[in-house]
Amino acid sequence: MKKISEIVFDFGGVFYDIDFIRLKKAFEELQIPEQLWENKQNNIFIQFEKGEMDAQKFLDILQLASPIEPSIDVIKSAFCSILVGMPVENVRYLRRFTKHYSCYLLSNTNEIHYEYFHSEIINNLQTREFYNSFKKEYYSHIMKMRKPESEIFEAVIQDNSLNPESTLFVDDMEENIVTARKIGFQTFHFGKEGKWSELINQFNIQV
C-alpha cells in the first residue's frame, strides 16, 4: 500500500447527510410514480445529474406525472427533502486532513440540490469555509458524467495529474468504490467500513 498523498471525497453521505426515505415519502405524498425516480439507468434523476436536462424541464416532468397537480415550488421542496444538512464535525475533520493532503471533491448532484446545499453551507458561519479546503471540486451535472462511470474518475486524474495508487477515494456508495478500485485508487467505503476514526486508523492518515 502506497503512502497517501491525495484524497478524493464524495459529498452526500460523507460530508453532507442525506435521507432517501424522506425523499421517497415526499414523492409518494405527491403521487409521483416511482419508476420516474427510482435508481435505475436512464431515469430522469440520472439524466438531471448528468446535466442532460435543465431544472425547469426536470420539474415540469415531475409536475405532469402527479395527478394532484402540485405547484413547481411544492415539487422542488419535495425534491430537496433528501438534503438533511452538514454536521460541523465533518468540516472540522476536513480541515485536519487538508493540513497534510491535497483534497478534492467529486459529487453526483444536480443544479437544484447544488443551489440548495451550497447556499446553506456558505451562509452558515460554522461551515462557510468548507469549500476552501479543496484544491478543486467536481460535480456531475457540470461535467456531464457521473459516478460510477470510469470516465469521471479518469477526468479527475488527468486534470490533476493524480497517481491513483497514492490517492484515497472516499465514498458511501458501493458501486462507486468498485469502479475507483478497478482504476487503481485506494478506497474507503464510508459508513460501511466505518467513519472518520476508522479511515484515519486504516490508512495511517496524518491529522
Identify residue 151 by its one-letter amino acid code.
Answer: E
> Roughly what angle, to the nearest 10 degrees, separates helices 111-122 and 72-79?
70
Please tell me the distance from the alpha carbon of residue 16 to that of residue 49, in angstroms, as a whole number.
17
Question: What predicted TM-score, i.e. pTM, was given to this entire model?
Answer: 0.95
The yes-or-no verdict on residue 67 having pLDDT over 80 is yes
Neighbours of 19 (CB within 10 A): 12
**Average pLDDT over every residue of 122-129:** 95
The yes-or-no verdict on residue 39 having pLDDT over 60 is no
**Average pLDDT over every residue of 45-67:** 95
Tell which wins on pLDDT, 39 or 159. 159
Residue ranges and CATH numbers for the domains of the chain are 6-16+87-202 (3.40.50.1000), 20-82 (1.10.150)
Q: Which of 34-38, 43-47, 76-80 has the lowest mean pLDDT?
A: 34-38
**Average pLDDT over every residue of 73-81:** 97
Helices (H), the chain: 20-29, 44-49, 55-65, 72-79, 88-98, 111-122, 140-143, 150-160, 174-183, 196-202
Confidence of residue 51 (pLDDT cuts 50, 70, 90): very high
**Average pLDDT over every residue of 44-69:** 94
| 3-class secondary-structure state, position 26 | helix
Calculate the average pLDDT of the chain.
95
The yes-or-no verdict on residue 42 having pLDDT over 70 is no
Phi, psi of 83 (to 5 degrees): -85, 110
Q: DSSP for 102-133?
A: EEEEEE---HHHHHHHHHHHHTSTTTTTGGGG
The yes-or-no verdict on residue 165 having pLDDT over 80 is yes
Confidence of residue 43 (pLDDT cuts 50, 70, 90): confident
Torsion (CA) 81, 78, 113, 185 in degrees, nearest 10: 60
**Average pLDDT over every residue of 187-207:** 95
Tell which wins on pLDDT, 37 or 79. 79
